Chains A and B, each alone.
Chain A
Amino acid sequence: MNHEGRRLRAGVLAVVGLGLIAPIAVGLWQTGRAAFGILPALGRNVASLGPWYDLADLPGFATSLRLTLVTGLGSTLLSLVLATGFCAAVHARMNVSAGARMLTPFLAIPHAAMAVGLVFVLAPSGWIARMMAPLAGWDRPPDIATVNDGWGLALTIGLMVKEVPFLLLVILSALSQIPVARHMAAGRALGYGRGIVWIKIIMPQVWPLIRLPVWVVLAYALSVVDMAIILGPSNPPTLAVAVTRWFSDPDPTMILPASAGAILQAVIVGLAVALLMAAEAVGNRLGRWWLRRGGRGLSAEPGLWAASAVVMALMAAGVLAMVSLVVWSLAWRWSFPQLLPESWSLKPWMGAQDGWMRALTNTLVLAGATVGLSLALAIAWLEGEDRARRTRAPWAEALIYLPLLIPQIGFLYGLNVGFLQIGLSGGIWAVVWAQALFVFPYVMIALSDPWRALDPRMIRAAAALGAGPGRRLWAVKLPVLIRPILTAAAIGVAVSVAQYLPTLFMGAGRIATLTTEAVTLSSGSDRRVTGVYATLQAGLPFAVYLAGVMIPAMVHRNRRGLSGANT
């Protein structure tokens, strides 16, 4: 039996248990108590269903609920179908690693910055309307609600612009584990069209590999707050936004129905995931029946090309949105329907300098601390697995995904109550802790596969040469893995920069980051200043990604065996 690294593993388990799992459990418990009427701070000590009746009676509740379901389920399913169709149509003709690189900006940019950019593009006074103005004869912005629309269409589009690239990346990496070309040849030789082979042969193999990421996307889309504030309908908003507002209502008794709403939000995500699992089971049955009939089917090509066209349109909108952030931050006079500003200026940057410098500093400190802690914990976890020479148990894998599947709004209020009780609320460390709950899973997921892909015989060779566990880690594994480690760090920075609710709740509104400022500014005030914050918000993760590529390239410039071989 193997006792190596037992202390390391026990330490990692303790940190994960107390640092990641306990806060979520405490948060859900405290929120749950308030949802059933127990709030000692207000002198409420008797359990009741009152908060739930109050919740149902709140104005706009039913609409909020419907909006959440339609935008959350709709954007996820559409994104999944489009991403799948796109891969089916172009996978054979694309250079996968180049394609994955092109997706990087879409993944790096925070949801809030993308949302701000999409407002600049889609709004009645935005770029698309300006392009159409000469044709339509508009000399002022048309009177159509193209963002914050009552159906949540703009929000759905915004979510899709972010989720389609993520799903593309996930599907592409799953496809790299499957002999697609050979299965395609085998299927077509049996008389099946390209699209049908994709549906009957390839996707059933891909699905188990992308199931968890799809759940994460679904949970996120159902409970997103920042993007829904910027792009979604405002009165009534989606449930997550409504719950956030009720929590910060001046009337403290609103905490009770707000907590009920937060728990409902968690239940909705749970039910949606259950629905997806049920659909999978039914699909399995029906799919098998359909497969056994052996129909060669009609050509699915037109559908695939339509999906690809929509994906390209979404990506184009995303690119326009990113460019528009920079253009607006440098614009001075820009009247409708001019395509470009009539005069440019650095004044938006200079004027808001104090504000964005403070927000940038806070953002950098939070990103540095959360990513540093998460990376250290992830490396300790993986090294613990190595030293015990064990593979990961399924329950451990589930622990990693847990914070990504439970809606933030479901437990952040309760966690804040818990933090208050231990005197940690309102400070930067409370925010670091809360953000790390979401940064760590992404860092861990990003680092796990490259870490395991390291040839174990190379580590055995180092041990056989007399290198102990410490030297094997510091002198062999970490330098060889520097590229994936920095990629994981860059992903962590992007996640940290994008955090809105944890910063808002745990910072008690006192810790301003680029994201909290961008969301606040997006409602109404000066587009140029909003552009400054959103540009910084989008630029920071992107700069870190670039550094993550450049640094290993420089450190290992004379090492061909490490040039991009294992990312």
Chain B
Amino acid sequence: MSLDLDALCIRSANGTALFQPLTLHVPAGDVVTVMGPSGVGKSTLLDAIGGHLAHGFRLSGTVRLNGRDVTAQPAETRRIGLMFQDALLFPHLSVGDNLAFGLPPGLRGRAPRREAVEAALAQAGLAGLYERDPATLSGGQRARAALMRTLLAEPAALLLDEPFSKLDAGLRGDMRRFTFDHVISHAVPTLMVTHDPDDAAAAGGPVIALKGPVAP
């Protein structure tokens, strides 16, 4: 598995490019970190890769997953997982149902599906919390549940948008280890944007600086 960006460039409605065209190869199990000053369009880059770009932006270049061009596909068929600094668990569903939401429909039957969710909860140290209201979880528990929800969907690639910036310092190290261990064991190509150099160091992969457009 791999995620490839080929001369990816995003222009805003008035035609100016947000950053210089980006070409990037992320092999399976690697975490590539993109850093850059705030406002350069790091989150917009992830929106473009995941298929969530807002109206008015224009995209050039290609996004390829395992060699297949997904640039024109809608977000839901790309199989690119997304993690934010907020866990963004669905507030109307229980913790377990949040994970079940991500589970592919191919896995059939109530019992096997429940089992898969329970197993993922146990892996994340959340055993027995299937019926819990996500709003009652601690910050760390929420973050782990969100990662499990994303991984259960069997993503072909993973995008992390400043995933640890809202956790307090003590928790941050644990969560980094937990996240990167799972990413590596699932062998998913992962792209992370952050402005925290410690995130990049913990990820251990190459670091790329996103540069603003060339001055005219």
Bound complex: CA A389 to CA B56 (Å)? 9
Q: Which of B58, B90, B135, B149 has the most CB of A within 10 A?
A: B90
Instruction: Find A559's partner among B58, B86, B91 (CB 8 Å cutoff).
Output: B91
Instruction: Find B88's partner among A1, A2, A457, A479 (CB 8 Å cutoff).
Output: A457
Known A465-B101, A465-B149, A465-B150; contact A561-B86, beta-carbon cutoff 8 A = no
* A contact residues around B88 at 8 Å (CB): 455, 457-458, 461
* A contact residues around B91 at 8 Å (CB): 480, 559, 561-562
Q: Mark B149-168, 1 if CB is under 8 A from A, else 0.
A: 11001010001000000000
* B contact residues around A559 at 8 Å (CB): 91-92, 133, 135
Q: Is A183 at the interface (CB under 8 A from chain B)? A: no
Q: Is B189 at the interface (CB under 8 A from chain A)? A: no
Least CB distance from B50 to A in Å reads: 6
* B contact residues around A562 at 8 Å (CB): 91-92
* B contact residues around A467 at 8 Å (CB): 76, 101
Instruction: Find B102's partner among A389, A465, A560 (CB 8 Å cutoff).
Output: A465
Least CB distance from B158 to A in Å reads: 9
Residues of B within 8 Å of A, CB-based: how many?
A: 38
B55 near A461 with CB under 8 A, answer no
Within 8 A of A (CB), among B120-160: 133-136, 146, 149-150, 153, 155, 159
Q: Is B81 at the interface (CB under 8 A from chain A)? A: yes
* B contact residues around A1 at 8 Å (CB): 58
Bound complex: CA A467 to CA B53 (Å)? 17
A480 near B50 with CB under 8 A, answer no
* A contact residues around B153 at 8 Å (CB): 464-466
B102 near A463 with CB under 8 A, answer no
Known A388-B55, A389-B54, A559-B92; contact A466-B104, beta-carbon cutoff 8 A = yes
Least CB distance from A225 to B in Å reads: 43
Bound complex: CA A482 to CA B52 (Å)? 25
A560 near B82 with CB under 8 A, answer no
Least CB distance from A476 to B in Å reads: 6
Q: Is B5 at the interface (CB under 8 A from chain A)? A: no
Q: Is B51 at the interface (CB under 8 A from chain A)? A: yes
Least CB distance from A512 to B in Å reads: 41
B150 near A457 with CB under 8 A, answer no
* B contact residues around A561 at 8 Å (CB): 91, 133-135
* B contact residues around A276 at 8 Å (CB): none
How many A-B residue pairs lie within 8 Å, measured between CB atoms?
Answer: 89
Residues of A within 8 Å of B, CB-based: how many?
A: 32
Q: Mark A386-414, 1 if CB is under 8 A from B, else 0.
A: 00111100000000000000000000000
Nearest opposing residue in chain A for B53, CB measure: A389
A468 near B90 with CB under 8 A, answer no
Q: Is A200 at the interface (CB under 8 A from chain B)? A: no
Least CB distance from B214 to A in Å reads: 26
Bound complex: CA A2 to CA B55 (Å)? 7
B133 near A461 with CB under 8 A, answer no
Instruction: Find B75's partner among A390, A463, A480 (CB 8 Å cutoff).
Output: A463
Known A461-B88, A467-B101; contact A560-B135, beta-carbon cutoff 8 A = yes
Instruction: Find B133's partner among A465, A466, A560 (CB 8 Å cutoff).
Output: A560
* A contact residues around B146 at 8 Å (CB): 461
Least CB distance from B14 to A in Å reads: 16
Q: Is A525 at the interface (CB under 8 A from chain B)? A: no
Q: Is B114 at the interface (CB under 8 A from chain A)? A: no
Nearest opposing residue in chain B for A479, CB measure: B92
* A contact residues around B197 at 8 Å (CB): none
* B contact residues around A466 at 8 Å (CB): 76-77, 79, 102, 104, 153
A556 near B92 with CB under 8 A, answer yes
Q: Is A95 at the interface (CB under 8 A from chain B)? A: no
A390 near B90 with CB under 8 A, answer no
Least CB distance from B40 to A in Å reads: 19
* A contact residues around B90 at 8 Å (CB): 458, 462, 476, 480
* A contact residues around B50 at 8 Å (CB): 460, 463-464
A-B contact pairs, 20 of them (CB 8 A): A389-B53, A457-B84, A463-B51, A463-B74, A463-B75, A463-B76, A464-B81, A464-B155, A465-B101, A466-B76, A466-B77, A466-B79, A472-B76, A475-B101, A476-B90, A480-B91, A558-B94, A559-B133, A560-B136, A561-B133
Q: Identify the 3 closest CB pairs spanning chains A and B, nearest first.
A: A561-B91, A561-B135, A560-B135
Known: A389-B53, A460-B47, A463-B74. 18 other contacts (CB 8 A): A2-B55, A390-B55, A457-B88, A463-B50, A463-B51, A463-B52, A463-B76, A464-B76, A465-B153, A467-B101, A469-B76, A475-B101, A479-B92, A480-B91, A559-B91, A559-B92, A559-B133, A561-B133
